[in-house]
Structures are given as structure tokens and as C-alpha cells.
Amino acid sequence: MSGNQPLLLFDVDGVVLQEVGYYRTLAITCAHFYEALCETVGVEPLPNLRSIVNSMEEVDLLREAFLPSTLLDILRSRALNSNWDKTYAVVLALNSLPREVIASAAMPLSLHAVLSEKSGSASEYLRQLEQMVKVSDRHLFERVYEVFQQVHIGPWPTIPFLVDGMIQFDEPTVDKNRLIDTLSTLQSRGYLMGIGTGRPWEELKIPFEALGLLRFFQPDRIVTIDEVKRAEEQHGLAPFSLAKPHPYTYLRGATNYTTEGVYVIGDSPSDQLAANEAGFEFIGVGHAETFSNALKKPFAIIDNVLQIPNVLVDNGR
């Protein structure tokens, strides 16, 4: 440990910020590729699954079709931490469906079935899906990424209320004032705080500045996907090979620390895997069943970040 100050490394989505914005972006992106697929195979898209929407209520109907909670649980259990990877997985599954299913009422259930039957973790899971549709390069992923980013940070030209992107609707997972009080308490007790996130810096900065949260985190301990990409390029590694569940994100945030006194706070098996591989304690946010018993037992499981100060005190930390 560095000095006597313990270090808390926060995942962002599902821990500090709600993930619903990313899931809505995923739905619109998938609807865009669904329409393109229908045009390619010569069928008419289902009318309720078109990518042109006029309200958040219509976006949420798309989300129920392309990412119901049961399907989200499956993708998370496969350690797909990146929302780009989740979107890519759904688009791959769409492209694997028979022509007669694509425009039928059975499409959502068939999509769910394809994504459920594949096993493996992270890149292994995606490779299985790629083999189904004979994708051997990153071009499809790159197109998915580009559309996703344009929907999320704007402007997305076909949806007027998303001129500034879905990111404008980002909200914290808990009441903002109570979140600030919690971070202030941790800071006053001598904890250093950092971030390990799959978000790019710009997508972290916009909502964190708007909410007044950046001041609580050590700048040199904020690790975004941008830094992960730079490390991959520097070492000639494949894209996303160092992204969570690889431990690099958290190891980089804990530079000059030993494994002692470092706590990762995350909400997914991907975070847990990364923390375990790094040798750090893990605090899970959410339900106990989310976190596999096959991995190292979490230091604690909490409902939300407001409980962190009490959990640490109760355990003598």
C-alpha cells in the first residue's frame, strides 16, 4: 500500500451513474442495424422496431425488444463489460437469424435464444457469435461502434430530441446530494478515490462535471478506455484485449500500491474478475447472485454506493 491511505477504485456505470442511457443507446443502435439487415434480405421491418423514435417511451419499447432484463443478465454473465461489446453481440445475433424469422413476431425470442445458447466469457463468447455469421474482422464492430457513439454523444440526425446525444440524460444511481455527502465522508476519512471505467474520458467528464463529482477523484487514478487503448497500441496488442475483465484498468489505477488496501467497487462479474485477477478486494453493488461463487468471495455486497462508509467501518477499515 502507498503510505497509510487506502484506495477505492470505482466502476462508473451501475455504480455511480445509471446505465439506462447506454441501454437506450444500444436499443437505437440495434434498431438501426435491424433495419439495414431487413433491407439487405428484402423484408419489411417490424413497425415497432424502427430506429426513428419521437419520445423516450418509444426508445424504451425498443429496449424491451432488443435488451430485456433477462437478456441483459445473460450478456453481463458472459463478462461483456463494454456496452459496445453488448451491442455488437446483439447485432451479430440479429445477423444469424433466418430470413423468415427476421420480420416475424418471433424475432425477439429467437434473438434471445441465440444469445442464451452461447457460452464462454468476453472475447471467447463474441468469437462464437462471429463464427455463426462468419465475421472474421473488426469492420462490423467498427460500424457498430461508430453508430453507437453518434447516438450516445450526438448528434443523431434522425431523432430531434437526441441532438445532444443520449448522454445528456445521464443521472446518478442515487440522489446527487447524498452521493456527494458520501464521497465527502470517504474523503474526510482519508480514503483516496479513483475510477476504472469502460467509458471514454469525454463520456465520463460530461456527466461528472455536470454533477460536481470530479473533484473527489485523483486525476492520476482515473483510468478510462482511452488509456486502455493507448496501452494496447503501445504494446501491439489486439483492441480491447486489456479492457475489463482484464485487470489492467484497476492495476493502472492502483499504480505504486500493493494488493493491500485497494478496494474495487463494481456491479458486474467483469469488475469482479478484474479485481480478483489484480488481487484487490471487491465490493459488489447489486444482488449477491450477480457475483459468482466460483470467484473469490467479495469483501462486501451492497445495495448502492451510499453504504460504502458503513461497510468499511463495520469491517474495521
Domain coordinates in residue numbering, the chain: 7-18+170-314, 20-168
In the prediction, which pLDDT does 152 show?
Answer: 95
Instruction: For domain 7-18+170-314, give its CATH number from 3.30.70.1230, 3.40.640.10, 3.40.50.1000, 3.40.50.300.
Output: 3.40.50.1000
Task: Return averaged pLDDT per consecutive 10 residues of the chain, 317 residues in all.
Answer: 79 96 96 95 94 94 94 89 92 95 94 92 89 77 94 88 91 97 97 96 94 97 97 93 94 94 94 95 93 82 97 77
Q: Which helix (H) or strand (E) holds 285?
A: strand 281-285
> What CA–CA distance (Å, rounded) separates 180 from 50?
39
Write b or e for each residue in 164-183: b if 16 or more Cβ atoms lie within 10 A of its Cβ, otherwise e: ebbbbbbebbbeeeebbebb
In the prediction, which pLDDT does 316 show?
Answer: 63
In the prediction, which pLDDT does 239 show?
Answer: 86
In the prediction, which pLDDT does 292 show?
Answer: 75
In the prediction, which pLDDT does 155 show?
Answer: 85
In the prediction, which pLDDT does 294 show?
Answer: 65
Length of the chain: 317
> What CA–CA distance (Å, rounded) separates 45 from 38?
6
Cβ–Cβ < 8 Å for 244, 219: no
pTM reported for the whole predicted model: 0.82
> What CA–CA distance (Å, rounded) separates 81 from 48?
28
In the prediction, which pLDDT does 137 show?
Answer: 59
